[in-house]
A and B are shown apart, each in its own frame.
Chain A
Amino acid sequence: MSESVQFNIQVGNDLTWNVAPLLHEVKHALKKLIDDGKTSIIDLRSIPLAPGEEDTILQTLGQGEVHARLDALGPSEIIETQYSGVWLITHYNADDEIISRFIEVTNMPDILNSQKEDVAEAYGRLAATLENPELQNN
């Protein structure tokens, strides 16, 4: 990712107070995953957050064992936080600007799975490749 621009914005200590409720929501989502196997997604753009508050959330969740990168219409970062089952998914456009950011509480974010349509297309493509006479002679 490109280096983020640092703004000299002065803010007070009292901000939106949305950080703690959001982290509690993540905790409840994790309990739901454990008890019922139900997954949850939280769109970080849908919640008013003051400058710096999103960073507080990300710092609290931290980084765990998995850090994957997709190249699909621009990069995407899929990070398992230090809390197993809590994933942070950040989609960027081709200019490395964030277009959406989600917290997903699941065993495996769906976007990491190979997609059925892509697998079908891959089968056709591999089969066509193997029909190449040059390959058949090897």
Chain B
Amino acid sequence: MTDRSSDKEKTLGDALRSQGVSRRSFLKFCAATASMMAISPAMIPKIAEALEKARKPSVIWLSFQECTGCTESLTRAHATTIENLIFDSISLDYHHTLQAAAGHAAEEAREVAMKENHGEYLLVVDGSIPMGDPGYSTIAGISNYDMLMEAAEGAAAIISVGTCATYGGLPMAKPNPTGAVSVGDLIKDKPIINVPGCPPIPVVITGVLTHFLTFGAIPELDHIGRPMVFYGQSIHDRCYRRPFYDKGLFAETFDDEGAQKGWCLYKLGCKGPTTYNACATTKWNNGTSFPIEAGHPCIGCSEPRFWDGGGFYKALSMPTQDIGKTAVYTAAGAVAAGVAIGGLNKLTKSGAAAAHDKTTIDDLEKE
């Protein structure tokens, strides 16, 4: 956090070379980056070229009503050297958990960074904002709302990290005692990248930062502000247990034959079909596994209002293994498979929306 002006003049390539990082090491970093961003390996040379010329952006990180799990997740993004490279490629000017400075010095660092980089810095926010009584969460006597609005004014873009900042999260759970709201509820005039998850996958957080560095722009977002590159596909579609779903093979309890054989966890409440995240491919703990691989259903932590969804162990709705029969109920007379599948999707969505009550095969067959 020293000598920011000279630091900013250097490109990332210059900075790495001055630290003795070889071109070969840099290419390895770019290969790992392409893999984590789910970008075609053919793009590795282009990533290398773009990162080589990138300049270090100033990053201000604000933490509001949160559990620090998102920061815990980020600091475990890959280990040591690769993580250092990502941190070396930004100038983290304020993060009250990670920075050495405290008290007035810390707040001064934030104010200086905001002034020097006005209009150019990246603002990262984790945690929701209490609008009921600001006294629930303050920093240096400043309410979360005031600090957010002041910092957002000069930001080039905002990255909301974690489900609290993106959609309100656990603080917003009924009865929402603090009047928690998300960043997007308050700020409408800045580009906001939502990186939900409780917490988000570490490399997804760094991947978004790296994307900004590589391409100098925010990534393509879905309808609720999430980067398509990480949240473009459902857990279900990328799940290695998907073939069991298609064959109608389900675990009915956590210790039955199906559970032991690794069958689909849909009937145990898995929210994989309605959850968009990269867990099934990027996985956790440096690619070791993800909850479904450990035998637990997905709880849908990257989706809005997952906390009030009616129970983590309630099945979403009717499984689709008997697609021909089910389609008859939903798309009467439709012959084309595409139409039938469309009808089934509508049924699934409406079933999920209806308070997530469990719909059994028997219930549907009565209709």
Interface residues of A (CB under 8 A from B): 9-12, 14-17, 41-43, 45-46, 48-51, 53, 70, 72-74, 76, 89, 91, 93-95, 97-100, 102, 110-111, 115-118, 121
Contact = CB atoms under 8 A, between A and B. Distances in A.
Interface of B: 17, 21-25, 27-29, 31-32, 34-36, 38, 40-42, 44, 78-82, 85, 238-244, 247, 260-263, 280-282, 286-287, 289, 293
Nearest to B261: A12
Given A73-B25, A93-B82, A111-B28, A48 B287 contact: no
Specify which of A9, A12, A15 lies most central, judged by the most chain B CB atoms within 10 Å of its CB.
A12
Contacts of A16: 240, 242-243
A43 B38 CA distance: 9
Nearest to A114: B24
B35 A46 contact: yes
Contacts of A111: 24, 27-28, 31
B255 to A, nearest CB: 12
Given A16-B240, A94-B80, A72 B281 contact: no
Given A49-B240, A91-B32, A10 B78 contact: no
Contacts of A45: 35-36, 281-282, 287
Contacts of B35: 43, 45-46, 99-100, 102
Contact of A74 (B81, B243, B261): B81
B24 A72 contact: yes
A79 to B, nearest CB: 16
B81 A93 contact: yes
A95 B79 contact: yes
Given A53-B240, A72-B22, A111-B27, 6 more contacts: A46-B281, A73-B21, A74-B80, A74-B82, A99-B286, A111-B24
Contacts of B23: 115-118
A30 B52 CA distance: 32
B78 A115 contact: no
Nearest to B259: A10
